[in-house]
Amino acid sequence: MSTQIRWGVVGPGRIAEKVVEDFAVVDGARAVAVASRSQARADDFAARHGLDRAYGSYKEILADPDVDVLYVATPHPQHHAIALAALRAGKALLVEKSFTATTPGAAEVIDLARETGVFVMEAMWTRFQPAVVAMRELIADGAIGEVRSVQADLGVTREYDPADRLFDLALGGGALLDLGVYVVSFAQMLLGTPERVVAAGSLFPSGADAEAALLLDYADGRTATLTTSLRNALPGQARVFGTAGWIDVLPRFHHPETIVLHRAGADPETITRPPLGAGYSHELIAVTEGVREGRQESDVMPLADTLAVQRLLNDAAEQLGVRHAEDPAVLT
């Protein structure tokens, strides 16, 4: 492996356009290649972002010996087959959220990661934001006592378009996998894995979930109350309540700059920690360092948390009548 970690982008869509820009602020890492299902789209992306190589199929980038890590930015059901093939090819992975479309799909990728010893991480960029890191340090120092409950919401208004990946079940559509993953992963980070989830919500005509409210029950009085929607905007606020105070994570909490600490009996303290670049840099740094140091996973976004979050999301989706499936054909 060269001293510089060489990255490849798979699926040059909307988010890949943004994430690739953040390599400019990451030391020791460079995006060198891109793979699209279309040679023209790959060429265009590579030209605009200064990448060396452009592939018109995903299989070709898997065979490039001069790529160390792949950033997988396809829709959710297309992550699974690409991730498995990449691990077999010895490529480390940053896989966009939601990690997969199904719980067995996530388990299969994680099992193979552990078997091959290759670094894999879900691109849950929230956990790496400096303001969230500061919040976790305060909580670990006992600033709000024992965490008893979490509230979080994340929702956007999107005009219904059955062909868009947000609404098309074959592309993993629905609020839960797209935005619900943020509120669930946030609760998982602070409270661990709940005993059960109770979900209420509604569906779009495509069968994808439009909105959902989740109650996470930890069976010892601890709870999380979470809301997500593609039908209407929500502020994107999170609150963490402890026995000695609470912390507000100001909107939008999935990439916040500011938290407000309310210690019991004291004036609120405002803490601002802006991200580096657009905020994707921090997850890129975590993966780059993990790969360079020969680690297999991240302590901040561990694979066990990814699996627990995936299970909870699929469980909640099934309570609403939504069943997701992986797309094994993406590499054919």
Span from 11-19, 48-56, 203-211, 238-246 in contact with ligand NAP (CB under 6 A): 11-19
Work out how close the CB of 221 gets to ligand NAP at its nearest, in angstroms, rounded to a whole number.
Answer: 33
For the four alpha carbons of 122, 123, 124 and 127, in that order, the dihedral sign comes to positive
Residue with Cβ nearer ligand NAP (139 or 154)? 154
Give, in order, the Cα–Cα distances in Å from 3 to each of 52, 130, 171, 296, 330: 17, 26, 37, 18, 32
Give, in order, the Cα–Cα distances in Å from 220 to each of 83, 146, 152, 195, 253: 37, 13, 20, 9, 26
Distance CA(21)–CA(115), nearest Å, equals 33
What string marks each residue from 27 to 66 as x (binds ligand NAP by CB under 6 A) or -? ---------xxx--x-------------------------
Q: Does 281 bind ligand NAP (CB under 6 A)?
A: no
* Two structure tokens written together for 67: 């790529």
Q: Does 206 bind ligand NAP (CB under 6 A)?
A: no
Residue among 18, 59, 91, 97 flagged as catalytic? 97
Residue with Cβ nearer ligand NAP (12 or 245)? 12
Phi/psi region, residue 161 (left: phi>0; alpha: psi -120 to 50; beta: rest), is: beta
Q: Does 252 bind ligand NAP (CB under 6 A)?
A: no
Single residue of 6, 91, 97, 324 touching ligand NAP by CB under 6 A = 97
Q: Does 129 bind ligand NAP (CB under 6 A)?
A: no
Single residue of 5, 6, 8, 12 touching ligand NAP by CB under 6 A = 12
Helix axes 303-319, 103-116, angle to 10 degrees: 170
Classify residue 216 by burial, with Cβ atoms within 10 Å: 0-12, 13-18, 19+.
buried
Work out how close the CB of 257 gets to ligand NAP at its nearest, in angstroms, rounded to a whole number.
Answer: 15
Span from 21-29, 73-81, 268-276, 307-315 in contact with ligand NAP (CB under 6 A): 73-81
Distance CA(309)–CA(317), nearest Å, equals 12
Distance CA(130)–CA(281), nearest Å, equals 11
Q: Does 15 bind ligand NAP (CB under 6 A)?
A: yes
* Two structure tokens written together for 93: 């992975």
Number of other CB atoms surrounding residue 117 within 10 Å: 11
| Whether residue 59 lies in the annotated active site | no
Q: Does 75 bind ligand NAP (CB under 6 A)?
A: yes
Q: Does 162 bind ligand NAP (CB under 6 A)?
A: no
Catalogue the active-site residues: 97
Q: Which residues of this chain interact with ligand NAP, rule CB under 6 A?
A: 11-15, 36-38, 41, 73-76, 78, 96-97, 123, 125, 165, 171, 178, 330
